[in-house]
Amino acid sequence: MHKRLILAVALLPLLAATPASAQESELGMLPDDDLTSQSELVGFFPDQRCGTVDFGPVENPRAPLDLDAWVLKHGAEKVAVSIPVAVHVLWYTNQRGIPVGVVTDEQIGAQIDVLNAAYAGSGVSFYLARIDTTENRFWAKAHPGSLGEREMKEALAVDPAHTFNLYVTAPSGLLLGWAVFPWSYPEDSIMHGVVIHYGTLPGGHLATYNAGDTATHEIGHYLGLYHTFQGGCTQPNDYCEDTPQEASPDYYCTIGRDSCPLDPGLDPIHNFMDYTPDECMYEFTGNQTARMDWALTTYRPSLISSKAEGDIVASPAASRTGITSVAPNPFNPKAEISFTLRAAGMVSLNVYDLAGRRIRTLLEQDMAAGPHDVAFDGRGLPSSVYFVVLKANGEQSTQRVMLLK
């Protein structure tokens, strides 16, 4: 409760400065080329936050007939998949001679960490397989369904059946990103993957959408999730019983919003599949996780079998090295970080900020196998989101934590 109140207060200046009517009227005046500073973003309204469209063949089912029954049948085979990520950076030089679309390797690393924190508990994790950089204005500005998108993907896609292709571009019109649903094409199609605006990467210029959760959201589509407002206040909505129905997207983190009053529960404004600012969204539900398992198993079996770590196992967490909990979270000033080591060995536990800078080293030593705890003292640090990264036994585990003073 406390956290949500503070978030609401933090968002007030944005709301006050940009009433909806002004936002929309100014949208057409924004330079669609090179938003390089936050001052140019006055009036920014993500009217095109997400351009994902479900155009897959109608004969393909969009949901299991009964998700609960599917989970009961497959629950013991919880999918644990470690997905290699090929990042393709597209950039160009605008009329003023300024490069547009350039991002740093640190930002890409921080983006992968954001994804692993967001998907922790889902059984899906990501690791950086490669980065390539291409100068091409036409591709960088491409929109969903365009010739530029197809050309870009034909030229750059890496083994789409076994690799997640993430295109970091600079689409015009302030479109933040789009994805392709798993049923839209055969699993080896070059069209698969996600395209995101480079300004949405951690530390990017598109405040309040610059903490990396545009990628989190779009990958939700890539793994079969619909928007929480899909279908409005009617069944089957997003095919997930545990996300309350929502009449329309929430752009503002509207605490207490209840746009479908006949449906139990408040709007799922903290869900990654809504349209709220990055700071506001922090969860997937159990049904969403089950739906990802269903979609992966049904449409992307090669992705599951792409790596040894991707084997279907009875209990993904038990035998692995990883952070098991951070409590409390949000915290002030101290949090206890619990983790498990699969085997004895050298352990490092570091804390990074949103820009990918290491700000604390909590551990750097040999440790025994089994469970361990260590304290993270946030005194002297500003309120923000941080990433705790555990490395041991050749494995890495990342947890997102929030310091709220």
Q: How many residues bind Zn ion (CB under 5 A)?
A: 2
Determine the 3-state secondary structure of 76 from DSSP. Answer: helix
Which residue, 54 or 188, has its beta carbon nearer to Zn ion?
54
Question: In which element (H, E) is residue 283 found?
Answer: none
DSSP state of 393: T
Q: Which is nearer to Zn ion, 232 or 328 (CB)?
A: 232
Q: Does 271 bind Zn ion (CB under 5 A)?
A: no
Minimum CB–partner distance for residue 219 and Zn ion (Å): 10
What is the set of active-site residues? 218
Beta bridge partners of 365: 347
Based on CB atoms, which residue is closest to Zn ion, 50 or 71?
Answer: 50
How far is 216 from 210, CA to CA, in rounded Å?
12
Q: Is 175 in the site for Zn ion (CB under 5 A)?
A: no
CA 234 to chain centre: 26
First to last CA, the chain: 14
- Least distance to Zn ion from the beta carbon of 374, Å? 37
* Least Cβ distance, residue 373 to Zn ion (angstroms): 38
Q: Where are the beta strands (DSSP E) in 94-149?
A: 99-100, 124-135
Beta carbons of 10 and 382 less than 8 angstroms apart: no
DSSP alpha helix (H) spans, 75-120: 105-118
Nearer to Zn ion by Cβ, of 109 and 244: the residue is 244
Q: CB of residue 175 vs Zn ion: minimum separation in angstroms? A: 11
Give me the residue whose beta carbon is nearest to Zn ion.
50
Binding mask 39-58 for Zn ion (x = CB under 5 A): -----------x-x------
**Distance separating alpha carbons of residues 218 and 242, to the nearest angstrom:** 20
- Applying CB under 5 A, the residues found at the interface with Zn ion are 50, 52
